[in-house]
Amino acid sequence: MSNTVLYSIKDLSKSYSQNNKKVNALRNVTLEINHGELVSIQGPTGGGKSTLLQMLGGLDKPSSGSISLAGDQLETLSEVKLTDVRARKIGFIFQNYNLIPTLTALENVQTALVPQGVNKANSEKRAMAALESVSLADRATHLPAELSGGQQQRVAIARALVKNPEVILADEPTGNLDEETRDQIIDLLVDLNRNQGITVILVTHDSSVAKRASKNLHIGNGVVTTR
Amino acid sequence: MFLTYLRRELSQRKRQTLLVAVALGTSIGLIIVVNAASGGIGDAQKTVLSGLYGIGTDISVTKNVQPNQDGRGFAFGPGNTDAAGGSTLSQTRLTVPIFSGTFDQQTLAQISHTKGVAKTAATLKLNQITFKGNIAAAAQDPTAPRDPNSQRRGFGGGNFNIDMTSIEGVDTSDSKVGPLSGVNIDKGRNFQASDANSTNALIDSTYALAQKIVVGGVLSVNGTDFTVVGTVSSASATPETSSNLYIPLAQAQSLSSNPGVVTNIYIAADSSSNTAAVQKAIETLVPDATVSSQADLAKNLSGSLSSASSLVNALSKWLSIIVLLVAFLIAILFTSSGVTRRIRELGTLKAIGWKTNRIVRQIMGESLVTSFFGAIIGLVLGIAGIFIVNAVAPTLSASVARPGRFGGGGPGGAGFQPPDGGFQPPAGGFGGRGTGFGRAAANATTLKLHIGMNLSTLVLAVAIAILGGLIAGSYGSWKASRLSPAVALRSVA
């Protein structure tokens, strides 16, 4: 595990208006996440977990404060540059898998390589390797609807992996899975972190998942505490 | 990935793709058929009208006068008196038709130089009326007792024939405008420039058949023999042409003692869009003239052709607009709802690094391909519709007012009634001026509607379908481009 800083967050705040009321989703968050860490984020619903994950993923910009990812100051980047950062450095895993329903498992994985302009042959090769790493090579030509929830999430993990990201951001990746499948997915993420050194930040309600993390963050009412 | 994604989207969402394509295709097909029908009916109108008007003619100028104006009418001089006191007549008159006015050279020159006039042709229409026979003495007496059966005074004891031949003096050097532009040469030849001062003539084929005259035959016009060099028939559905006989204009003017005057001026405008302006200018220039365009003449059409024309003209405009709007609306709504339904998908693609323009391109591509399918469906439906209309070939009838003919009288007697006129002998005997040859007669004809495929219409239809795709795709893309990945992902969380 490297000790170099991947994320450096200082006085990060995010507020927005909801029903004419100001909501402070994040309040002066300051923290660092190093390369190779497995970080869990827990907290009550509406506490700011997803907002923090969106800031980490460059999907939204803070109201104030700064956030850097491997040297890129995300709050200052244009939308085009942020898109480029997401394309190269960040892998996303969603609770609902978010696969493209009309594309096969292989093609879904390939979508992550489209922004990088990888040619077709290379793209297919890398996507197939990613599917093999999640033990789904034999389901490459299946549509998402033909796969179980666990298999779909593994395709989503392969899609996040295929671009060799600096970090994987997972938003409740086991939220829709049964216990057995949940363990398989967590094992897979832990394995990626430990064996491939990929930084994994995951939002979870599950304390058993949090126990396997190297760092546990708790967020409530927009305030982050480290446990 | 662009093509793979596009193909998968369209094939996996068949129902939506098909619905949008069929909506666009149906509207395009309808537009093709309606426009083709409009063109076919327009052609049918031209066919009917061209026989009267000349194919290349945009405007005709004539002048109406009251019957006894200019001293013209139906008058003959006294004949030889026989033993019973009756008159024996054999006289021929060559006159301008009773109701027709004339134009002088100066007016013709002014019209020729009017802005927008590309070409003019002037003709002199004449009627040659030959009266042969005997009128009893009683018929000539205005004080004679009334015939108890007919209630007409006198006019019962004659035995005579009246023949009338309509003759038109034409410009022999150019038949692209005027009455000869709408005729076919059945036998012999057309006029040539060298015929200008000749005694050569063209004869209407129907008239020639009735009179048993063939090419090379001779006809007398006011005592001058003309040699028939060709027989002509109308290019329209009705074979008869506007006159029985065509002779060089100079000869017509000379023989009728009307030097330098004409009765009809035919005009070709330099552009069809200028026709209305030219018509107005000539109406101002010659206020007492009747200036008619093809459109005016078309208004005189009646029958199913006219009804179909009105219907299709209204349909081709409003139906096309309404159907297109509905089709565009369907395409836009489905594309828009497709984007809304795919909000998670598009938000995910943005999250994993797809640039907005790539997503826009994807949606535009899907919309354009769908509209291309719509264009193909539209072409198939449109062409099939044209084939069906042509296979059914609905019969259209047309009735149009055209100059009257006066074919020739039968043996004399009370109650003479010409076939398509309203001849009324004046009270007081036949020796006075006559009035009332029928001016016009309804000439009915039928023709099969045939509609043709117009390449430009087909290309336009495809372009409209693609335009529909572009508009729908643009709207969908605009929605997608405004999509924030955070909001998109949050909305499904």
pLDDT of B216: 93
Q: What backbone torsions phi and psi does residue A30 show, to the nearest 5 degrees?
A: -130, 120
Q: Any chain A CB within 8 A of the CB of B387?
A: no
Average pLDDT over residues B32-37: 82
Chain A hits for B356, Cβ within 8 Å: 79, 83
Q: Any chain A CB within 8 A of the CB of B351?
A: yes
pLDDT of B54: 52
pLDDT of B85: 67
Q: Any chain A CB within 8 A of the CB of B344?
A: yes
Residues across chain A: 227
CB-CB under 8 Å, B345 with A103: no
Confidence at B445, pLDDT banded by 50, 70, 90: low
Which chain B residue has its CA at the smallest distance from A88's CA? Answer: B353
Could you tell me what percent of chain B has a pLDDT over 90? 16
Which chain B residue has its CA at the smallest distance from A160's CA? Answer: B352
The three-state secondary structure class of B123 is strand
Confidence at B419, pLDDT banded by 50, 70, 90: very low
Two structure tokens written together for A192: 């990626």
Confidence at A115, pLDDT banded by 50, 70, 90: very high
Which chain B residue has its CA at the smallest distance from A121's CA? Answer: B1
CB-CB under 8 Å, A100 with B354: no
Do B199 and B227 meet the contact criterion of CB atoms below 8 Å apart? Answer: yes
* B28 sits in which H/E element: helix B14-53
* Selected residue of A16, A98, A99 to mutate for chain B interface (largest B Cβ count, 10 A): A98
CB-CB under 8 Å, A59 with B1: no
Classify strands A215-220 and A38-42 as parallel, antiparallel or unpaired. Answer: parallel
Burial B411-429 (b: 16+ CB within 10 A, else e): ebebebebeebebebbeeb
Chain B hits for A92, Cβ within 8 Å: 348, 351-352
Nearest CA-CA partner of A171 in B493, B491, B350: B493
What is the rounded CA–CA span in Å between residue B299 and residue B222?
Answer: 37
Burial class (CB in 10 A: 0-12, 13-18, 19+), B42: middle
> Tell me, what CATH number does A166's domain have?
3.40.50.300
pLDDT of B231-249, one tens digit each?
998 876 667 788 899 999 9
CB atoms within 10 A of CB B488: 22
Treating both helix axes as pointing N-terminal to C-terminal, what angle do B455-481 and B14-53 enclose, rounded to 10 degrees?
Answer: 150
Do B289 and B136 meet the contact criterion of CB atoms below 8 Å apart? Answer: no
CA distance B10 to chain A (A): 9
- Among the partner-chain residues B8, B11, B492, the one whose CB lies closest to the CB of A96 is B492
* Positive or negative torsion for Cα B460, B466, B472, B478: negative
pLDDT of B372-409, one tens digit each?
999 999 999 989 988 888 888 777 766 655 443 333 33
Average pLDDT over chain B, rounded to whole?
77
- Among the partner-chain residues A50, A80, A123, the one whose CB lies closest to the CB of B490 is A50
Average pLDDT over residues B455-474: 86
What is the rounded CA–CA span in Å between residue B220 and residue B227?
Answer: 9
Average pLDDT over chain A, rounded to whole?
90
Do A69 and A7 meet the contact criterion of CB atoms below 8 Å apart? Answer: yes
Could you tell me what percent of chain B has a pLDDT over 70? 72
Which chain A residue has its CA at the smallest distance from B350's CA? Answer: A83
Two structure tokens written together for B387: 């084939």
Print the domain residue range for A49. 5-226
CB-CB under 8 Å, B5 with A103: yes
pLDDT of B344: 86
Do B17 and B10 meet the contact criterion of CB atoms below 8 Å apart? Answer: yes
CA distance B344 to chain A (A): 7
User: DSSP states of A159-202 as a string?
Assistant: HHHTT--SEEEEESTTTTS-HHHHHHHHHHHHHHHHHH--EEEE
User: DSSP states of B319-383 as a string?
Assistant: IHHHHHHHHHHHHHHHHHHHHHHTHHHHHHHHHTT--HHHHHHHHHHHHHHHHHHHHHHHHHHHH
The domain tally of chain A equals 1
CA distance A98 to chain B (A): 7
pLDDT of B52: 54
Would you say residue A100 has pLDDT above 80?
yes
Which chain B residue has its CA at the smallest distance from A124's CA? Answer: B1
Chain B hits for A87, Cβ within 8 Å: 352-354
- Among the partner-chain residues A79, A112, A123, the one whose CB lies closest to the CB of B352 is A112
pLDDT of B259-304, one tens digit each?
889 999 988 888 767 788 888 888 888 888 888 887 776 666 656 6
CB-CB under 8 Å, A50 with B493: yes
- Among the partner-chain residues A59, A110, A116, the one whose CB lies closest to the CB of B351 is A59
Instruction: Look at A147-161, B15-29, B191-205 and tell me which has the smallest mean pLDDT.
Output: B15-29
What is the rounded CA–CA span in Å between residue B34 and residue B286?
Answer: 40
CB-CB under 8 Å, A103 with B352: no
Burial class (CB in 10 A: 0-12, 13-18, 19+), A78: exposed
ipTM above 0.90 for this complex: yes
Would you say residue B23 has pLDDT above 70?
yes
Place of tokens 């083709």: B36
Place of tokens 């009634």: B417
* Selected residue of B348, B359, B362, B490 to mutate for chain A interface (largest A Cβ count, 10 A): B348
CA distance B24 to chain A (A): 24
CA distance B333 to chain A (A): 21
Chain A hits for B349, Cβ within 8 Å: 100, 111
Would you say residue B146 has pLDDT above 60?
no
Residues 6+ apart with CB under 8 A from B249: B122, B123, B124, B169, B170, B171, B172, B196, B262
Residues 6+ apart with CB under 8 A from B415: B150, B152
Residue ranges per structural domain of chain B:
2-43+306-393+450-491, 64-288
CB-CB under 8 Å, B489 with A59: yes
pLDDT of B137: 63
- Among the partner-chain residues A59, A91, A159, the one whose CB lies closest to the CB of B486 is A59
Treating both helix axes as pointing N-terminal to C-terminal, what angle do B343-351 and B356-392 enclose, rounded to 10 degrees?
Answer: 140
CB-CB under 8 Å, B344 with A98: yes
CA distance B342 to chain A (A): 9
pLDDT greater at residue B78 or residue A39: A39
CA distance A100 to chain B (A): 6
Nearest CA-CA partner of B294 in B307, B281, B279, B314: B279
pLDDT of B231: 94
Do A138 and A170 meet the contact criterion of CB atoms below 8 Å apart? Answer: no
Chain B hits for A79, Cβ within 8 Å: 356
Confidence at B444, pLDDT banded by 50, 70, 90: low
CB-CB under 8 Å, B352 with A87: yes
pLDDT of B420: 40
pLDDT of B430: 39
- Among the partner-chain residues A59, A107, A115, the one whose CB lies closest to the CB of B355 is A115
CB-CB under 8 Å, A87 with B12: no
Treating both helix axes as pointing N-terminal to C-terminal, what angle do B356-392 and B14-53 enclose, rounded to 10 degrees?
Answer: 50
Q: What letter would DSSP give residue B474?
A: H
pLDDT of B87-142, one tens digit each?
777 778 888 888 888 898 888 888 888 888 888 888 999 998 887 777 766 555 55
CB atoms within 10 A of CB A19: 5
